Amino acid sequence: MLYLGTSGWPNGGDWAGLSPRQRRRRYFALFNSIELTQTYRRVPDWDVVGRWRAYAPRSFVYSWVAPRYLTYRPGGEERRSLRRFLRRHKRLGRARGGVRFLVPARTDATDFSDWLEMLAELEIPGDYAFDVVPDLVELVEAYGWIATNRPASWQYMIDREPKANLDGHAYFSSLAAALRYQREVAAERG
């Protein structure tokens, strides 16, 4: 299944005057997923995650952006932070989507390789996609994960048209672009 939506909640135009409840209902009627960008700034509390799970209609998923404080270097504090974040994400249950990791371009390849091993050792499986420089793509793919905007056995696309007939996640920064793509798919399917 392809999960399609926006990266972040729409908030401009005719969405501006809507209450959070009205905004959710409208969004859920349009899309089957959202990438929550606020998780980059702050890991949500357990009760917030529980509410998100309760709000989600059947077959709707929330993808998250990994928190900015991750260093992508292995260590005890990094392991605890990563585990804390992924356990919260796992609490979404059936509403759990992917996780996009924004890896800084200056990240050391050896440290990152060790970090990926640490992530695998946490044994919290998921659809993990990584924004990485080309030199780090092979390290990610060795674990069965993918680089963002580089489809493999599945895909995690940001502001790019997803590959047809390939499962994964596709998010657009603009509501208009997400709706345009959704209309194109609906027209193709008749």
Which strands make up the sheet holding 146-147, listed edge to edge? Answer: 33-36, 61-65, 96-102, 128-131, 146-147
What tokens does 129 get? 């996609």
| Contacting residues for 181 by C-beta, under 8 A, at least 6 apart | 4, 161, 170, 172
Provide the residue range defining the domain that includes 170. 2-189
pLDDT-derived band at 184 (thresholds 50, 70, 90) equals confident
Q: Answer for the pair 172, 183: CB distance below 8 angstroms, yes or no.
A: no
| Contacting residues for 55 by C-beta, under 8 A, at least 6 apart | 24, 28
Q: Among the residues of 102-157, which ranges form H helices? A: 109-121, 137-141
129 HSE (CA, 13 A, CB side): 25
- Counted domains in the chain: 1
CATH code for the domain in which residue 180 is found: 3.20.20.410
151-183 per-position pLDDT tens digit: 999 999 999 999 988 999 999 999 999 999 988
What tokens does 43 get? 């890991």
pTM above 0.85, yes or no: yes
115-144 per-position pLDDT tens digit: 999 999 999 989 999 999 999 999 999 999
